[in-house]
A and B are shown apart, each in its own frame.
Chain A
Amino acid sequence: MTLEAWLVFSAALFCVGLCGALIRRNAIIVLLSIELMLNAANLNFIIFWRYGVNADAASGVMMVIFSIGIAAAEAAVGLALVIAVYRHFKTVNLDKVDSMKG
């Protein structure tokens, strides 16, 4: 497989995540979609490391491991927020949550 093919794949994955985050109404799905976008980014790290000039050093993998760690923490915070939102608004439907309205 060529570099371009992998990049197209990861871009597609990112687009799926982006669309999900922007369109779906369920906050949990939105959270999942965000994870997808994050993983598309992680995939790019791996791809550029594998096809890079210095494939011997484990720099790409290291980056990804950090990223996954942060993602996990972020998912925990995200879920906690979702739960807080649910407690407050009694729903996870994001259309109903508009207290930032001007």
Chain B
Amino acid sequence: MSEATQTLWLIPTLPLLAAGALALTPRDNRTAAKALSIGSMALALLLSIRGLLESLRLQGDHGVAREFFNFVWLSFGAGEAGVLKLGVVLDPLTAVMLVMVTFVGLLIFIFSVGYMEHDANFKQFFCFLSLFAAAMLGLIVSNSLLLLFICWELVGVASYLLIGFWFHNPEAAAAAKKAFITTRIGDMGFLLGMVWLYAETGTLLFYDGGAGCLEQGAIAAMVAKTAAGGIAVSTCIALLIFCGAVGKSGQLPLHVWLPDAMEGPTPVSALIHAATMVAAGVFLVARMFPVFEAVPPGAEGGATALTIVTWVGATTAVFAALIAVAQNDIKRILAYSTVSQLGYMMLGIGVGGVAVGMFHLIMHAFFKALLFLGAGSVIHGCHEEQDIRKMGGIKDHMPWTFYTYAIGMLCLTGLPFLVGFVSKDEILVSALHGNTDSLVSLLPFLMGLFGAVLTSFYMFRQVFYAFYGEYRGGDEHTPHESPKVMVAPLVGLAAALVFFSLPKLNPWGWFSGFLEGGHHHEIPTGHVAVVIFLSVVAFLVGASLAYRLYFRRGIRSADAPDALQERFPEAFETLAGRFHVDELYEASVIKANAWLAKMADLLDRKVWNGITQFVTQVAVMFAWFARLFDEYVINLGFDFGCRRVNDGGRFATKPQSGQIQSYLRVIGISLAVGVLLLTWGCSGS
């Protein structure tokens, strides 16, 4: 085992220690907050780069190089079967994720120093951010589904704390709770999938020298078994685990929390709700890919689990992109864009495997973090204004922000030859490849293409609204460029994106080779050409539509209706109302839950308590009867007897008058009578 693997555990531990130390430092110690969190993150970045280099060094021509280090966490008796191990693993998947998270994380930490400068809870913010980073990094290095789950929940908590960071704002508090609960719905599936996996394979370690749950033996055993309904156990487990991914990555139908999560500070949105945590769902599917792709021997068609992943991803991609078209909050547009892009990643994994999905994940992390930080810079410069209708023309006021934002946005929309184009293109190529035989199997590809049009449209719309035209935010203040500490991370991210886009570098070729261990999908060049052509068309259609509607006509005032709204008021209304999914949930799930709670309470108060009351009443009634019997049957007879005895006694005491003379009289009379009788008796005889 290499030294890099041995020290892998340090990567999550460093931010964790920083978080722990910050939790105990006094509230106003801003220097410590900055130094500890950024320092630990920088160290983690260095260690991650070392891990990546080590992983590259280990990489041979055959298969994926993988090192792991497992340790016993607990044992619950019953010998070897009762030992539960956790572990860390260093493989290409871990390595690229680590570098991405630490790099983006570090830049966002730096950005936050400027963004949160005036906040009273500055230290707390960095404490939570470090906690998040620790959990996220732990999730990545984990070699055990349980450890992954633990970190998975911890990132959820960190996200909860950071969304609700401005807790005095009721919306933020509600959004935090909503995020936690919604993701936890998915996590219940995850938990069940995990314990099922544990029950089937007897281990939760991913890789354990042949005994891990992702390795040949375990997968074969799971595939061979069928659960109820004839579905392979591996498929059931994969789908249950996918529930967790759906919740975390904001896929339909659990996407509702992600837009609301924008109530948190913008760096949080950038780090957690764009670049890293929401991508954890995709990462999970990538990590568990062997279970997802397992197909029972002799079965027809592809893996059921992957088909479902594909469809969920494609639907989400289009659905969220449609909503994004009609939003006016700069962060919400980006949030729906994130949901949509996460859909693309799922689609990519579903149709093209780990490398396709992960490549988009990594690239998306860079440009979406850049966009969010840019949006944060805009919001900061426009005095906490988030409505794009009240912006406009800020390109001249904030040039650095604008140009970096433009790079990010062009990556997202897929300007040809930028890296964003490449990653999306790979997804579409994979979606097309091998699926041309029927319309249904072609549908994910078409949805992806349509989503690309929409992406291009809503991003150009946003940029035209916010950066072009006249400033519409009132006369009190004009926008200003953000401080250097905020601009620097933007430049860093933009530079990274430009670097990745260099044609000589060919990041995709390198990436897929690295992740898939030299295996290369052979895709007919004809398909590739078709897709490139269609992607370019999609980009141009979206961009030109937005150009016609929002740029050429110009936006007159902040209150003017949207150009789309004028043409299709009803459709726009539906989109602006986000398809009324929230209202639907409000009226169904939440209401049903409240109703159930009420029923449970009533059941308690009326039924169970009623039974108790009834039993009590019956007991009281018996007591009452017993009392009646006592009083009127037993007591009456007894009392009667007592009274007779009493009367007799009173009669018997009559002679006992207490007067000595009467006693003597009786004695005297009896004496006289006695003497007389004696006398007569004697004389008689």
- Decide if A and B touch, CB cutoff 8 A: yes
**Set A23, A25, A30, A101: member contacting B657, Cβ < 8 A:** A101
**Is A94 touching B661 in the complex (CB atoms < 8 A)?**
yes
Whether A5 sits at the interface, judged by CB under 8 Å, is no
**Is B664 touching A94 in the complex (CB atoms < 8 A)?**
no
> Given A22-B661, A30-B661, A94-B661, is A100 in contact with B668 using a C-beta cutoff of 8 Å?
no
Q: How far is the CB of B645 from chain A (nearest CB, A)?
A: 16
Whether A4 sits at the interface, judged by CB under 8 Å, is no
**Is A100 touching B661 in the complex (CB atoms < 8 A)?**
no
Q: Which residues of B contact A52 (CB under 8 A)?
A: none
**Set B657, B658, B659, B664: member contacting A21, Cβ < 8 A:** B664
**Is B660 touching A100 in the complex (CB atoms < 8 A)?**
yes
**Set B653, B657, B658, B668: member contacting A22, Cβ < 8 A:** B668
A64 to B451, CA, bound (A): 153
Whether B57 sits at the interface, judged by CB under 8 Å, is no
**Is A102 touching B660 in the complex (CB atoms < 8 A)?**
no
The proximity string for A residues 80-102 relative to B, scoring 1 for CB distances below 8 Å and 0 otherwise, is 00000000000000110111111
Q: Which residues of A contact B525 (CB under 8 A)?
A: none
A18 to B656, CA, bound (A): 22
- Find residues 13-54 in chain A having any chain B CB closer than 8 Å to their own CB: 18, 21-23, 25, 30
Q: Can you identify 23 A-B contacts, CB atoms within 8 angstroms? A: A18-B668, A21-B661, A21-B664, A22-B661, A22-B664, A22-B668, A30-B661, A94-B659, A94-B660, A95-B659, A97-B659, A97-B660, A98-B657, A98-B658, A98-B659, A100-B656, A100-B658, A101-B653, A101-B657, A101-B658, A102-B652, A102-B653, A102-B656
The proximity string for A residues 58-94 relative to B, scoring 1 for CB distances below 8 Å and 0 otherwise, is 0000000000000000000000000000000000001
A25 to B662, CA, bound (A): 11
Q: Give B residues with C-beta under 8 Å from A.
A: 652-653, 656-661, 664-665, 668
A23 to B669, CA, bound (A): 13
Q: How far is the CB of A84 from chain B (nearest CB, A)?
A: 14
A99 to B660, CA, bound (A): 10
Q: Which residues of A contact B656 (CB under 8 A)?
A: 100-102
Q: Which residues of A contact B653 (CB under 8 A)?
A: 101-102
A11 to B379, CA, bound (A): 144
Q: How far is the CB of A4 from chain B (nearest CB, A)?
A: 17
Q: How far is the CB of B279 from chain A (nearest CB, A)?
A: 107
A91 to B657, CA, bound (A): 18
A91 to B330, CA, bound (A): 118
Q: From B659, which residue of chain A is reached at the shortest CB distance?
A: A98
The B interface, classified by DSSP as helix, strand, loop or mixed, is helix
**Is B665 touching A22 in the complex (CB atoms < 8 A)?**
yes
**Set A18, A23, A99: member contacting B658, Cβ < 8 A:** A99
Q: Give A residues with C-beta under 8 Å from B.
A: 18, 21-23, 25, 30, 94-95, 97-102
A25 to B660, CA, bound (A): 11
Q: From B653, which residue of chain A is reached at the shortest CB distance?
A: A102
Q: Which residues of B contact A100 (CB under 8 A)?
A: 656, 658, 660
Q: Which residues of B contact A101 (CB under 8 A)?
A: 653, 656-658
Max chain A C-beta neighbours (<10 A), residue from B657, B659, B664, B668: B659
Of all A-B residue pairs in the complex, the 3 with the closest CB atoms, nearest first, are A102-B656, A98-B658, A101-B658
Q: How far is the CB of A3 from chain B (nearest CB, A)?
A: 19
Given contacts A98-B659, A101-B656, A102-B658, 5 further A-B contacts (CB under 8 A): A22-B665, A99-B658, A100-B656, A100-B658, A102-B653
Q: From A100, which residue of chain B is reached at the shortest CB distance?
A: B658
A95 to B668, CA, bound (A): 18
Q: Which residues of B contact A21 (CB under 8 A)?
A: 661, 664
Q: From A24, which residue of chain B is reached at the shortest CB distance?
A: B661
A22 to B653, CA, bound (A): 21
Q: From A99, which residue of chain B is reached at the shortest CB distance?
A: B658
A101 to B660, CA, bound (A): 10
A18 to B653, CA, bound (A): 26
Q: How far is the CB of B669 from chain A (nearest CB, A)?
A: 9
A14 to B660, CA, bound (A): 19
Q: Which residues of B contact A102 (CB under 8 A)?
A: 652-653, 656, 658
Q: From B671, which residue of chain A is reached at the shortest CB distance?
A: A18
A14 to B493, CA, bound (A): 148
Q: From A21, which residue of chain B is reached at the shortest CB distance?
A: B664
A94 to B652, CA, bound (A): 22
Q: Which residues of A contact B660 (CB under 8 A)?
A: 94, 97, 100
Q: Which residues of A contact B664 (CB under 8 A)?
A: 21-22
Q: Which residues of B contact A95 (CB under 8 A)?
A: 659
Max chain B C-beta neighbours (<10 A), residue from A21, A25, A97, A102: A102
